[in-house]
Structure 1
Amino acid sequence: MNPAITTALLLQFGGSLLAILALAWLAHRLGLGGDTRIADESHARALADEAVCGFEASDVVIDRAGMGALLRDARGRVLLVRRHGAHFAARLLDSYDHVRLDHGYLTLGTGDRRFGSVTFDLGQRAPEWAASLRRLGA
């Protein structure tokens, strides 16, 4: 092989590798990607307040994997918070129509096809939350 072609290929490879490393560094610095999860109740409360200004949760349950949470305020409103990429999305639940209990797992939906449904592992608190969600308007 021609030494000029070999040198050009090595330079192209080296430049591509440097560009990939630079993009990876930039993504890390911007906090993109990663495995974002709900750490604790205070984190879930902060996410709820961001989603619905002034939402003050009186009861909180967090999925065992930290992928989402359910929060109830003093007015009886229930907020569903779930991970959406590296961020979190939230919706107020307004009916019991999209709730299903299966042992310690609670499957919830909002009726909004774009938001989808989510299954949380709530363990022993799943039946308690399923029963309380029956109070929502049908």
Structure 2
Amino acid sequence: MPQSAPRANPHFTMDVDPQILIFAGSLVAIFVLAGMARWMKLGGSPTLASEADAARAAGEVWDGYEPVEIALGKDGAAALLRDASGRIMVIKRHGNRFAGRILAHAASATVNGEKIEVATGEARFGSVSLNARDAASWADAINALDKNRDA
């Protein structure tokens, strides 16, 4: 008896490689976790929206630092602060937190209009740019830091 061709199965089934299923499941899990993080407002970019925010960030950077004068960057990413003893701190956004340094004699500043560029003198911290009121007076204060001792 001649063999006939196999008949098509009316209940079509497709064999899927398990690696594809693992990949697809992982991809779905990533999107679910990303959606949950966004819904819970995790991560993101913090801003220094007010002088109180900048003072709080300064206190986190240097315990006990209490600013008496604050210059906020217009974009909320950086600030300059001065305390009662004349120490000047610069704060910048670093990921989803803020980092800051009290400026020492190695620091310098340049001004272009309302934009001030502060070179902290620390290669690992880098420089900070911000648009702030009174940029020229802040630059003068930074450039006048006692070159014989830290501010």
If the TM-score is normalised by the length of the shorter chain, which range does it land in?
A: 0.7 to 0.9
RMSD: 2.4
2:75 aligns with one of 60, 65, 75: 65
Name the structure 2 match of 1:53: 63
Distance (whole Å) between structure 1 residues aligned to residue 138 and residue 51 of structure 2: 16
Distance (whole Å) between structure 2 residues aligned to residue 4 and residue 131 of structure 1: 73
Name the structure 2 match of 1:3: 14
1:39 aligns with one of 34, 44, 49: 49
Equivalent residue pairs, number:
134
Write out per-residue CA displacement over residues 19-64 of structure 1, whole angstroms, 9 at most, x where no aligned residue: 11233146444822x1211111001000111111111100001000
Q: How does the TM-score come out when normalised to structure 1?
A: 0.84
Does the aligned pair in 2 maintain the 1:99–1:109 contact within 8 Å? yes
Distance (whole Å) between structure 2 residues aligned to residue 7 and residue 52 of structure 1: 54
Distance (whole Å) between structure 2 residues aligned to residue 93 and residue 66 of structure 1: 20
Unaligned runs of 5+ in 1: none
Q: Which amino acid aligns with 1:112?
A: E
Q: What is the percentage of aligned positions where both structures have the same residue?
A: 34
Unaligned runs of 5+ in 2: 1-12
1:105-116 matches, cutoff 5 A: 105-116=115-126
Distance (whole Å) between structure 2 residues aligned to residue 95 and residue 101 of structure 1: 18
* Distance verdict in 2 for CA 1:8–1:137, change over 3 Å: closer
Larger CA Rg, structure 1 vs 2: 2
Q: How does the TM-score come out when normalised to structure 2?
A: 0.77
Higher helix share: 1
